[in-house]
Structure 1
């Protein structure tokens, strides 16, 4: 296995760097606090005559921004609100149910009392 001159004897660096925030962190050994946007691999564009040198960078995905955190907080708040509302509704329903059972029991007792009083008056 010999090298083919001009083909296998040279190494060409990768054209593109990582796009995902966690992969950029892993590549540069960054902590959670470091700003990933400053470490993104930029690609130089071919320079036009009389113009400044320009570079292109990928749009970083899975980047934790204040808006993302705000959405997460909002989602959790809604979840908490739903949970508490459900608990309150369940308590209210249990209260109404207990009251209806009590009323039904009372009606049943009054009916049986009236029947016994009726039968007692007719038997005399």
Structure 2
């Protein structure tokens, strides 16, 4: 079985090939999201604790969270579900997926380190890979630089140098500015104005309709009396 172990604090991923079934016993019959001790992987993994995040069986079918079995099943999938891309709007399709319980037929298992052990693993825990891109969301930029709500986030956007004369910056998402608040207030005022105009037009129409009915009724009464 191939184990893909990731360490978010350094951004590194280490692949471990294990052929001995006895060393994989702690992972069997565990679900996606379960935390398992990694002591059986080797002496360098002593004290480490990993969490199962997914995997594939020997035919390449992915494990799907919520399917409580250790074999392959065919389920009806629709838009919004994992392992499925909608080809035509509104259509569902039956596809084969692997259950979320680990078994001996799994060929690749994805793990993430949640608790570090005693030993340092060379090239995995002692080397940090810098992130290529900075955050886009305004709240995450404030959290990264410790900014207050009054500070201007646009000055702290992480720019990426493309060439000597060119740099790229992401478009800030969920940025609340005075211009945006003014646009929102203007839009609300426009909606209120449209509602008032519709109400006035409806009242005028009812008055015209009432006058027409009275006129028609008077004409009918005059015909009857004649």
Q: TM-score under structure 1 normalisation?
A: 0.64
Larger Rg computed on CA atoms: 1
In 2, Cα distance between equivalents of 1:58 and 1:97: 58
Figure out how many residues of one structure are paired with residues of the other and give that number: 107
From 216, 219, 225, give the equivalent of 1:104. Answer: 216
From 36, 44, 64, give the equivalent of 2:153. Answer: 36
The alignment yields a C-alpha RMSD, in angstroms, of: 3.0
Q: TM-score under structure 2 normalisation?
A: 0.39
In 1, Cα distance between equivalents of 2:189 and 2:204: 22
Give the match for residue 19 of structure 1. 136
- Select the structure with the greater relative contact order (CA < 8 A; seq sep ≥ 6): 2
* CA deviation string 1:84-109 (max 9, x = no partner): 00000000000001101111111111
Show structure 1 runs of 5+ residues with no match: 49-54, 115-124
* CA deviation string 1:63-120 (max 9, x = no partner): 2233322322222122111100000000000000110111111111111111xxxxxx
Q: Between Structure 1 and Structure 2, which shows a larger proportion of strand residues? A: 2
Show structure 2 runs of 5+ residues with no match: 1-41, 45-119
Give the match for residue 206 of structure 2. 94
Q: Between Structure 1 and Structure 2, which shows a larger proportion of helix residues? A: 1
